[in-house]
Structure 1
Amino acid sequence: MNTSCSVFCGVSLDGFIARPDGALDFLEGDGTAEMGDHGYDAFMASIDAIVMGRNTYEVVKGFGQWPYTKKVIVLSSTDPDLAEIRSSGADVEHLNASPEEVVAQLALRGIHQLYIDGGATVQRFLRAGLIDRLIVTHVPVLIGEGIRLFGALEHDVQLKLVASRSFPGGLVQSEYVKR
């Protein structure tokens, strides 16, 4: 079975997935529309594991209650403190490996459908040519600065639009696959 790496994220119209301090408050929009899952639950049901970087892990850990029931792989060159999250029953592990090594190691364990999360991690997997699908929900807000979803690339990444949906509150979701 081939491994597939997917991204599912919200982004401001000016391309940021978080504020400079990692805050995600702007993703809730202006508060006038119901929040809905916008396909998130179906997406999560389709994946085997989540791969995120250390910074994203620290932000998610700060949510209070761990939001994931799937295996989470935290990529970091230093050992993150996983004890507290594991004590709550979460399936979390640490890897210090390149994107290619992560995909290969997880495939050997039968983990093939990966959700790649976090700006730096998405950028690393994109540069490695490993992102197969992007589901990006644009929130109608400009925040001016923050953590970008996309960074420098060595070459163009050609994508094909396979779906586009709009939601109350002005959210627009686009789904792309790699050509």
Structure 2
Amino acid sequence: MRKLIFGMNVTLDGYIAATGVDIGWSGPPSDELFQWWLDRERAIDLTLYGRRLWETMSSYWPTGDEQPGATAAEIEFARNWRDTPKVVFSSTIGEVGWNSRLVTGDAVAEITRLKAGDGGPMGIGGATLAAAAMRAGLIDEYALATYPVLVGGGTPFFTALDSWVNLNLVETRTFPGGVVLTRYETRR
């Protein structure tokens, strides 16, 4: 069975985007944090995207390695992003590119099917998609890069759940700018 990992930058009060889908609170990550995300992405065999995060990522990373001033890590991230297989869940997008396929049906059923298959870890991103997987008990690991900022509202990292989910802390790390990484595995 494949492992499903949900990781994103998050505010101290638990939001991945402020009201109005504003992610300006995170600013550019430190080189160390960007390298951590790159290493994580290289370990992922398949990435699952909701529509909004797909649109954000696909608007930049297909040519991120060609941008003026791109760092070595950004160049590697862009190449890895293009090469990694992706599944995009949306009922409003007509087509996807860059080593991706589109799923317009039941996201939870498809994620369950993918988890049951062979292969390495899968990453999941996008608040709505991750919330559906969270409610279905499909997420095996949570990675939060918590920024020292309070935004007071917006898109939460965690969704409302019907029952508790017990977790084991597997990593903590502090990055420049006061960003604290915490990783938790679901206790099964």
TM tier relative to shorter chain: 0.7 to 0.9
- What percentage of residue pairs aligned between the two structures are identical? 27
Contact 2:95–2:102 at 8 Å: present in 1 too? no
Q: Could you report, residue by residue, the CA deviation over 1:82-113 in whole angstroms, capped at 9, with x for unpaired residues?
A: 2xxx2xxx1011112232323314754x4442
- TM-score of the two chains, using structure 1 as the length reference: 0.83
Determine the C-alpha separation between the residues in 2 that align with 1:62 and 1:23: 16
Structure 2 letter corresponding to 1:170: G
Determine the C-alpha separation between the residues in 2 that align with 1:172 and 1:38: 14
The equivalent residue for 1:49 is 46
1:176 aligns with 2:184: yes
Determine the C-alpha separation between the residues in 2 that align with 1:167 and 1:105: 33
The equivalent residue for 1:14 is 13
- The within-5 A match list for 1:93-172 is 93-95=101-103, 96-105=105-114, 107-108=116-117, 110-172=118-180
Task: Report the secondary structure of 1:39's partner residue.
Answer: helix
Aligned residues between the structures: 168
- TM-score of the two chains, using structure 2 as the length reference: 0.79
- Which one is further off, 125-134 or 141-150? 141-150
Contact 2:51–2:93 at 8 Å: present in 1 too? no
The equivalent residue for 1:72 is 86
Unaligned runs of 5+ in 1: none
Q: CA deviation at 1:17?
A: 0.5
Q: 1:34 to 1:102 in 2, by over 3 A?
A: closer
Q: CA deviation at 1:7?
A: 1.3
The equivalent residue for 1:40 is 37
Q: 1:146 to 1:56 in 2, by over 3 A?
A: same
- Which one is further off, 14-23 or 151-160? 14-23
- Which one is further off, 55-64 or 168-177? 55-64
Q: Which runs of 4+ in 1 moved over 6 A?
A: none
Q: CA deviation at 1:39?
A: 1.6
Unaligned runs of 5+ in 2: 65-77
Structure 2 letter corresponding to 1:63: Y
